[in-house]
């Protein structure tokens, strides 16, 4: 099963596909639709790079900005500030036409496959749609591509599925159609926003295996957005942990899961159970409180009000920069400041 | 508090719930036996469409209109309750002795009524309590589930997801029921919030000696509270074990495959999926319902296996149990 192993298959030539600098996506908050009363800082100063052929997991709780990040990368939200460099161009400055062309390079796998597929369209029509939108008028070529896409997601033989409506398919099959649709324009980047959270345990692994396999075969870049750290180990190369609109820790998968250095990452890992009868005997230690408001986030480190290790006079005043710990491993926490 | 005796709190025998549909009769619950002891948590595990939510609805008779038939017996503390008239059941059992937190209940709170009033409402309706007395009790249950009492006067939108889930739990606990049924209480919540709700449940179980029937597809989270596990597949229970046996040495091939599909955080084992799909509940196979997907399938599997007793309190619906020498045989 070495083709699934983590940390492999990254093409070093022209390695960077996507480079995000100081990205902000804020939403204006208005009272009575007029008076501006603040901003929801959903994404607040992100810096990261994604290489060709690598799978990066963005992990965090709801409201940490991970879905806003996905939608910003898709060009559905315009960034408030910062830049998104892809293949030498800054997407933040694109006009409508350029955005349209840009979206061909990106496939989107939604969370809820049933909601993502139009219920009145047959699978063939669902898969033809992106081809039409992007100017492919050749019926024969369309049909060829549709069948190839179905084969790629293992819906075989394709004839069986072409005339099915979404409700006639199981959840796993629906998600395969969503993946086929995301792949059909041969994108360079796939954004999968909680691709398996609506599916059953036994199907989740099947879909994640498929996504990972296709990503590696095609040398695609995959942004895998999830709230569930336990699904990440075998399906991504690196993890970025987000909290209140910012990245608080980033590392290769095994490093992050085995040696987390940010107290928030540590808390997340501590809270997640493995199936174990001994769990019933213990009360888990959890950080107090809830994630902060994104309208007026806490001063200094955004995790300080909940942090068991907060240093008085420092953490609530100065936002920590990201301190390097090892190559590829960094944590935005004062505890990791080199002495 | 209920005085202890030897009878199990709830005993269910041969429960069947069938629905009408355009395609035929759906056998959602098809002959289920269960036992819940006092101060114990039974986890009913199963994947979507296996009938686990229907089972909960059947126990509380919160049924949709397309029910074809409901049959079987259930004894609550020795008293048969499936045969009770609807009025008797409503007055004496539902919510007072068996309460339920429905799936996604936290999203069903009335958005324009303060949460305290919503928790107090069943007390006023069922017990005829005054507003003040009911609100006092609501305050007590809020403390039980770890919500500050000043949240009584807030509206649902002012509460976080975890708080709303605890508020609906408070509603279920208000009448001090002996059994609380929780249908997917944490599946819409994040990791930390989930862990927090499980902590609350553990504390309530210790302090109030409440029994729980937890219905979920989340295997890892279910181990947080389980004393017993009943695994459901295609309308039937296929394994009934103590949590220790189930999570350490699952016996039914489906239980083994299901546990192997759970990604682990603390152990480097690659999760494996289960090929194939569960059968239709309209025309389930005559034999073992898992046979099509089972790596240990053999001739006998074309007949429906009964529940075999492997040990006291441990039952497995699998022909491999019939011949102990077959237990460790390799995949054919």
Give the torsion sign (CA, B205, B207, B208, B209): positive
**What is the average pLDDT across A195-224?**
92
- Smallest CA–CA distance, residue A313 to chain B, in Å, is 27
Quote the CA–CA distance of A231 and A227 in Å, as a whole number.
9
Kindly determine whether residue A201 and residue B47, on different chains, have CB atoms separated by under 8 Å: yes
Is the pLDDT at A30 greater than 90, yes or no? no
Q: How confident is the model at residue A4 (pLDDT cuts 50, 70, 90)?
A: very low
Element (H, E) at B258: helix B253-260
Q: Which residues of A touch B211 (CB under 8 A)?
A: none
Does A268 contact B at CB distance below 8 Å? yes
Which of B 59-118 lie inside 8 A of A, CB atoms? none
Kindly determine whether residue B48 and residue A171, on different chains, have CB atoms separated by under 8 Å: yes
Kindly determine whether residue B217 and residue A200, on different chains, have CB atoms separated by under 8 Å: yes
Which of B 151-190 lie inside 8 A of A, CB atoms? 160-162, 190
Q: Which residues of B touch A198 (CB under 8 A)?
A: none
Is the pLDDT at A1 greater than 70, yes or no? no
Cross-chain CB nearest to B48 (options A200, A206, A277) = A200
Does B321 contact A at CB distance below 8 Å? no
Tell me which residue of B320, B106, B1, B56 sits closest to B212, measured CA to CA.
B56
Write down the pLDDT at residue A261: 97
- What does the mean pLDDT of chain B come to? 91
- Smallest CA–CA distance, residue B211 to chain A, in Å, is 14
Does B273 contact A at CB distance below 8 Å? yes
Find the closest chain A residue to B273 by CA distance: A202
How confident is the model over A127-161, as pLDDT tens digits? 999 999 999 999 999 999 999 999 999 999 999 99
Is the pLDDT at B14 greater than 90, yes or no? yes
Which of A 138-197 lie inside 8 A of B, CB atoms? 170-172
Q: How confident is the model at residue A247 (pLDDT cuts 50, 70, 90)?
A: very high
Cross-chain CB nearest to B263 (options A230, A286, A290) = A230
Kindly determine whether residue B246 and residue A277, on different chains, have CB atoms separated by under 8 Å: yes
| Mutation site for A-interface testing, chosen from B47, B192, B224, B268 by largest number of A Cβ within 10 Å | B192
- Smallest CA–CA distance, residue A175 to chain B, in Å, is 15
Write down the pLDDT at residue B323: 66
- Smallest CA–CA distance, residue B104 to chain A, in Å, is 14
Residues pairing with B118 in the sheet: none
Cross-chain CB nearest to B264 (options A230, A277, A280) = A230
Q: Any idea what the Cα angle at residue A229 is, between residues A109 and B183, rounded to 5°?
A: 85
Give the torsion sign (CA, A137, A140, A146, A149): negative
Burial (CB < 10 A; 0-12, 13-18, 19+), residue B324, is exposed
- The domain spans of chain A are 15-271+284-292
How many helices, marked H, and strands, marked E, lie in chain A? 10, 12
Quote the CA–CA distance of B142 and B170 in Å, as a whole number.
6
Quote the CA–CA distance of A63 and A65 in Å, as a whole number.
5
Fold observed for domain A15-271+284-292:
Rossmann fold (3.40.50)
Residue A205 CA, distance from chain mean position: 17
Does B261 contact A at CB distance below 8 Å? yes
> How many cross-chain Cβ pairs, A to B, lie less than 8 Å apart?
122
Q: How confident is the model at residue B5 (pLDDT cuts 50, 70, 90)?
A: low
How confident is the model over B261-318, as pLDDT tens digits? 999 998 888 999 999 889 999 999 999 999 999 999 999 999 999 999 999 999 999 9
Write down the pLDDT at residue A14: 60
| Mutation site for B-interface testing, chosen from A63, A201, A260, A308 by largest number of B Cβ within 10 Å | A201
Kindly determine whether residue B263 and residue A203, on different chains, have CB atoms separated by under 8 Å: no
Does A230 contact B at CB distance below 8 Å? yes
Cross-chain CB nearest to B226 (options A228, A229, A280) = A280
Burial (CB < 10 A; 0-12, 13-18, 19+), residue B98, is buried
Write down the pLDDT at residue A8: 42
Q: By mean pLDDT, which of B48-52, B140-144, B199-203 is the weakest?
A: B48-52
Q: How confident is the model at residue A3 (pLDDT cuts 50, 70, 90)?
A: very low
Write down the pLDDT at residue A172: 92
Pairing verdict, β A89-90 and A81-86: antiparallel
Write down the pLDDT at residue A288: 87
Taking residue B172's Cβ as centre, other Cβ atoms within 10 Å add up to 24
Q: Which tokens hold the place of A186?
A: 């041969």
Write down the pLDDT at residue B324: 56
- Smallest CA–CA distance, residue B306 to chain A, in Å, is 25
Kindly determine whether residue A201 and residue B223, on different chains, have CB atoms separated by under 8 Å: no
Q: Which residues of B touch A284 (CB under 8 A)?
A: 195, 198-199
Alpha carbon separation from A173 to A86, A208, B158, B263 (Å, rounded)? 32, 13, 38, 21
DSSP percent split of chain A into helix, strand, coil, nearest 5: 35, 25, 40
Does B226 contact A at CB distance below 8 Å? yes
DSSP string, A262-323: SHHHHHHHHHPPPS-GGGGG-PPP--SS-PPPSSSPPSSSTTGGG-TTPPTTTTTTSPPPPE
| Mutation site for B-interface testing, chosen from A197, A275, A286, A291 by largest number of B Cβ within 10 Å | A275
Q: Which tokens hold the place of B295?
A: 């790596």
How confident is the model over B205-257, as pLDDT tens digits? 999 999 999 999 999 999 999 999 999 999 999 999 999 999 999 999 999 99
Kindly determine whether residue B226 and residue A202, on different chains, have CB atoms separated by under 8 Å: no
Cross-chain CB nearest to B223 (options A204, A229, A277) = A277
Cross-chain CB nearest to A200 (options B47, B191, B198) = B47
Q: How confident is the model at residue A9 (pLDDT cuts 50, 70, 90)?
A: very low
- Smallest CA–CA distance, residue B234 to chain A, in Å, is 14
Predicted complex ipTM exceeds 0.90: no
Q: How confident is the model at residue A15 (pLDDT cuts 50, 70, 90)?
A: confident
Is the pLDDT at A6 greater than 70, yes or no? no
Does B277 contact A at CB distance below 8 Å? yes
Q: What is the crossing angle of helices A201-217 and A171-183, to 10°?
A: 20
| Mutation site for B-interface testing, chosen from A111, A114, A200 by largest number of B Cβ within 10 Å | A200
Q: Which tokens hold the place of A239?
A: 């993890």
Q: Which residues of A touch B273 (CB under 8 A)?
A: 202-206, 209
Q: Which residues of B touch A59 (CB under 8 A)?
A: none
CA dihedral B247, B249, B253, B255 (to 10 degrees): -10
């Amino acid at each position: 099963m070495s083709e699934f192993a983590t940390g492999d298959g990254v093409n070093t030539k022209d390695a960077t596909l996507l480079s995000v600098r100081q990205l902000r996506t804020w939403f204006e908050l208005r009272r009575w639709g007029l008076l501006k009363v603040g901003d929801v800082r959903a994404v607040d100063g992100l810096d990261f790079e994604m290489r060709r052929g690598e799978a990066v997991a963005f992990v965090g709780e709801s409201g940490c900005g991970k879905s806003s990040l996905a939608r910003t990368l898709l060009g559905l939200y315009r960034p408030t500030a910062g830049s998104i460099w892809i293949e030498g161009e800054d997407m933040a400055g694109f006009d409508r036409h350029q955005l349209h062309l840009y979206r061909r390079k990106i496939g989107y796998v939604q969370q809820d496959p049933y909601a993502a597929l139009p219920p009145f369209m047959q699978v063939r029509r669902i898969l033809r749609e992106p081809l039409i939108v992007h100017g492919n008028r050749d019926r024969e070529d369309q049909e060829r591509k549709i069948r190839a896409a179905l084969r790629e997601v293992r819906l075989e033989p394709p004839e069986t599925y072409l005339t099915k409506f979404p409700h006639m398919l199981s959840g796993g099959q629906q998600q395969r159609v969503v993946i086929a649709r995301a792949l059909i324009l041969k994108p360079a980047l796939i954004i999968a926003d909680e691709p398996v959270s609506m599916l059953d345990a036994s199907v989740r692994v099947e879909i994640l295996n498929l996504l990972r396999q296709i990503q590696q075969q095609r040398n695609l870049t995959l942004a895998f957005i999830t709230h569930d750290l336990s699904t990440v180990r075998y399906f991504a190369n690196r993890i970025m942990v987000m909290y209140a609109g910012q990245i608080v820790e980033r590392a290769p998968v095994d490093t992050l899961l085995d040696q987390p250095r940010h107290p928030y990452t540590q808390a997340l890992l501590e809270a997640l159970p493995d199936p174990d009868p001994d769990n019933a005997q213990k009360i888990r230690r959890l950080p107090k409180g809830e994630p902060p408001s994104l309208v007026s986030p806490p001063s200094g480190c955004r995790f300080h009000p909940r942090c068991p290790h907060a240093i008085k006079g420092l953490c609530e005043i100065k936002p920590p920069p990201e301190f390097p710990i090892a190559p590829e491993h960094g944590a935005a926490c004062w505890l990791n400041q080199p002495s | 508090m209920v005085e202890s005796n030897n009878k199990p709190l709830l005993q269910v025998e041969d429960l069947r719930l069938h629905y009408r549909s355009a395609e035929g009769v759906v056998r959602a619950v098809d002959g289920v036996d269960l036992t819940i002891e006092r101060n114990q948590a039974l986890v009913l595990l199963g994947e979507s469409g296996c009938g686990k939510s229907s089972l909960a609805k059947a126990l509380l008779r919160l049924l949709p209109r397309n029910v074809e038939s409901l049959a079987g017996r259930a004894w609550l503390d020795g008293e048969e309750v499936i045969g009770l008239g609807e009025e008797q059941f409503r007055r004496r059992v539902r919510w007072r002795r068996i309460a339920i937190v429905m799936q996604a209940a936290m999203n069903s709170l009335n958005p324009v009524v303060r949460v305290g009033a919503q928790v107090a409402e069943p007390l006023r309706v069922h017990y005829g309590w005054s507003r003040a007395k009911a609100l006092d009790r609501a305050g007590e249950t809020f403390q039980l589930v770890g919500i500050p009492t000043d949240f009584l006067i807030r509206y649902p939108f002012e509460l976080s997801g975890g708080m709303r889930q605890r508020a609906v739990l408070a509603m279920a606990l208000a009448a001090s029921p002996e059994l609380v049924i929780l249908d997917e209480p944490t599946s819409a919540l994040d990791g930390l919030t989930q862990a927090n709700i499980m902590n609350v449940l553990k504390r309530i179980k210790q302090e109030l000696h409440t029994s729980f029937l937890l219905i979920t597809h989340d295997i890892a989270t279910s181990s947080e509270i389980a004393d017993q596990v009943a695994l459901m597949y295609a309308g039937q229970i296929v394994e009934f074990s103590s949590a220790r046996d189930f999570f350490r040495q699952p016996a039914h091939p489906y239980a083994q495959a299901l546990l192997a599909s759970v990604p682990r955080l603390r152990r480097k084992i690659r999760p494996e999926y289960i090929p194939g799909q569960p059968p239709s509940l309209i025309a389930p196979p005559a034999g073992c319902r898992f046979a099509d997907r089972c790596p240990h399938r053999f001739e006998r599997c074309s007949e429906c296996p009964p529940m075999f007793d492997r040990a006291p309190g441990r039952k497995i619906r699998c022909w491999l149990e019939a011949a102990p020498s077959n237990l460790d045989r390799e995949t054919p």
